[in-house]
Structure 1
């Protein structure tokens, strides 16, 4: 009764066919094995997600990377080209580049309540940090959005990451 509809399809193909302004929330936790497939890492994919999301909606993606964060920085640059607001949630050790790990990207066409998000993530059983605004722009640095022709899957996790290998 919550009005949530799950769709079992290739994420990009579903977005291409979805009506404009038709989703309140898009959650991308998509991995082929241990990697995000290349066709879900480009500005073409981001453009479709931005089109389908309603003006007050939120996009959330589970991504994984490690220092120097080339993949993650490229993803953030791509989303910044289509969304007014971005936040990144990750454990401090991951953000400091001490280990490979998950980072959750949050994107919206409207302001995000990053203060409330930071309080909630800091109080979690696995505390995380929320980066946004100038700190996130500094993290992205000179990274550029990834075009379809340059898209690659997310990096291969090192042995032992996520209990792999």
Structure 2
């Protein structure tokens, strides 16, 4: 007889942006979903950090497997913490990897630390993603993962051209930026994000579910910029690069920073 599912009770807490909930997975004994205001943010299996549940996490995981296969002691910056799913995943692939996670909400961090403990080798810092990126040294990181959302929306501070320039400066010449985007048909925000990333990076790739990239449904898309590994798309996935990506982007204009 197989193991019983997770019988833990849901946990809720007031956080800066509303209500956070840790919901047990009835199918996995130590699996939990982190939601903020009812929107799923992260999935963590405490028994198996190599398990990724959400489709976008699986796609990012595929990219990170390719990246960690060639990286040697690279520093990694995660912008957006949530349940620390991807930092745990990388620590599982490369135990003791040097990782810094920036999380803006102290209540979410406290909830995760208390209920979903993570490896001590992962450093977590409270702060604003854009501000912390601006503080990074030149060519300090080999990989930057941006997964910053307020509810279901990505704030403009990490979507504008200044963010792309800061990321390019903070990455090594052979570094990689991986951004989780979410969009609705006809993917206007994604097209703008590609145009914005082009202000700082020469090579850009979009990777995601084929129906999402065809504008048939709402979903997540992974934007990769810099030294992008060769990705083999799955049966229901699409990879857009080069001419296909230029056609997709069309005449979209980059998002510029508001004057300060």
The TM-score, its normalising length taken from structure 1, stands at 0.80
Specify the alignment match of 1:50 in structure 2: 168
Distance 2:225 2:174 in 1: 11
Give 1:14-93 correspondences, 5 Å limit: 14-93=132-211
Distance 1:113 1:36 in 2: 25
Q: Going by fraction, where is strand more abundant, 1 or 2?
A: 2
Q: Going by fraction, where is helix more abundant, 1 or 2?
A: 1
Give 1 or 2 for the bigger CA radius of gyration: 2
Q: CA offsets, 1:11-53, max 9 Å, x none?
A: 1001111111101000001101111012111101111111111
Distance 2:156 2:254 in 1: 13
Specify the alignment match of 1:160 in structure 2: none
Specify the alignment match of 1:122 in structure 2: 234
Q: CA offsets, 1:45-91, max 9 Å, x none?
A: 11111111110110000001122221111110011121111110110
2:130 aligns to what SS in structure 1?
helix
Structure 1 stretches of 4+ moved >4 Å: none
RMSD across aligned C-alpha pairs, in angstroms? 1.6
Q: Does 1:4 align with 2:102?
A: no
Count of residue pairs brought into register by the alignment = 141
2:177 aligns to what SS in structure 1?
strand
Q: Which runs of 5+ in 1 are unaligned?
A: 151-165
Q: Does 1:137 align with 2:232?
A: no
Shift of the alpha carbon at 1:149? 2.5
The TM-score, its normalising length taken from structure 2, stands at 0.52
Instruction: Between the two structures, name the one with larger relative contact order (CA 8 Å, sep ≥ 6).
Output: 1
Q: Which runs of 5+ in 2 are unaligned?
A: 1-95, 103-124
Distance 2:213 2:132 in 1: 31
Q: CA offsets, 1:78-122, max 9 Å, x none?
A: 1112111111011011011110110000000x4x333xx1x2x41
